[in-house]
Amino acid sequence: MYNTMEVKPVQTVDTVSMNQSNSDGMQSMSFEQVGSVFDFERGSPTIERELEEFNSMSSGEREQIDTKLDEKQGLDLDDLGSEEKSAFDDVINDDFEEGTQDEEIEQEDERGELEDYFASAEFVIWITELVLVWGTNFYLKKNNLDSIGIEAFKKTQGEQKFLVKSWAKVLRKNNAKVSPEMELVMALGSTYVMKMKSIVKEQKIRSKEKELEIREKKIKKKEGKVVNIDKHQKTEPKTVKKEVKKESKKKPEKVDVNDRSILFDTDNIEEIEEEGIGDLITQ
């Protein structure tokens, strides 16, 4: 371990002796050698000027500056400003603006590149998904389990973006340029995949609508039966009453004179009286 209190002669990475070169051309060192870059006392025109000023001050003035520094936890940049400072500021400001513009351009470029790769990426992802679905279903069938659809591999937007990025990286890394024929196949694939997707969706909606219609019909049929039964139950007593009424109307017509029970039928007494007892006797 490096002894912190030990005063070592200053060494640089360049001057220090290095160990043997490895098969990959890299040299080996210990940290003690690499860390030599921290051993220097730093110097610059600003530091030199500041130290000169400081050393030319009396001890009282030095104390004042130190307390001022301690209060501020550091020097005020304006107090220690140099001619170089303004030049630095200009460079930094320009650099900053250029930098932000560069970043924006980089981001736009990246977006553009991703768009270029999107169609082919989607095609490749779709093929992969199909293979995965087929493979998974093969395994599931072997284990007597229910098979799955391509929906099982539904992705979030983030996942989709990640996959496209990865595809773009692979192409970029290998400097791969997709041939026009392949591009055509991919474009056809991607567009027809979209169409197929929409057709499948429509078909699903249609089949669901049909199912709903069938169900509604079934429900209506069932409801209809219930209604008929209820009507029948309600009308039955009415017909009985009507029949009773009819019977009651018809009864006088079928009066049998020999039937003595009529004599005890108080309801018919009046009618008989109206028709005339004399007539009955003559008959």
Partner 1 sequence: MDGKRGSNCIGIIGTNNTGKTVVSEEIIKRFNAKRDRLSKLGKKYPSNYHKLVVFDVQNRYTKYMREGDISIMLDDEEWEDKVLALRDSLFVADDFKVLVGTDKISKKLLRIFGYRMEYGLDLVFIVWHPRLIPPRIAQFIDKYYLFRANGNDKEYADRINGETDEIIKCKHAIEKHCSKFSELEYGEQYPNFPFIYYDTNLNKSIKVNFNNKK
Residues that bind partner 1 (CB under 8 A): 1-8, 13-14, 18-19, 22, 24, 26-31, 34-35, 37-48, 50-51, 54-55, 62, 65-66, 69-70, 72-77, 84, 88-89, 91-93, 95-96, 99-100, 103, 106, 169, 173
Taking the least distance from each CB to partner 1, the nearer of 31 and 264 is 31
Q: How far is the CB of 106 from partner 1 (least distance, A)?
A: 8
Min dist CB 90 to partner 1, Å, is: 10
Place of tokens 């692979």: 170
Amino acid found at 207:
S
- Other C-beta atoms closer than 10 Å to the C-beta of 125 total 20
Using a CB cutoff of 8 Å and minimum separation of 24, what contacts does 30-35 make? 31/2, 32/2, 35/2
Amino acid at 177: K
Residue 161 CB, nearest distance to partner 1 (Å)? 16
Closer to partner 1 at the Cβ: 173 or 238?
Answer: 173
73/266 with CB nearer partner 1: 73
Instruction: Compute the least distance from the CB of residue 58 to partner 1, in Å.
Output: 12
Of 110, 220, 79, 247, nearest in space to 172 by CA: 110
Structure tokens at 228: 């008929």
Cα 274 to Cα 47: distance, rounded to the nearest angstrom:
148
CB nearer partner 1, residue 41 or residue 256: 41
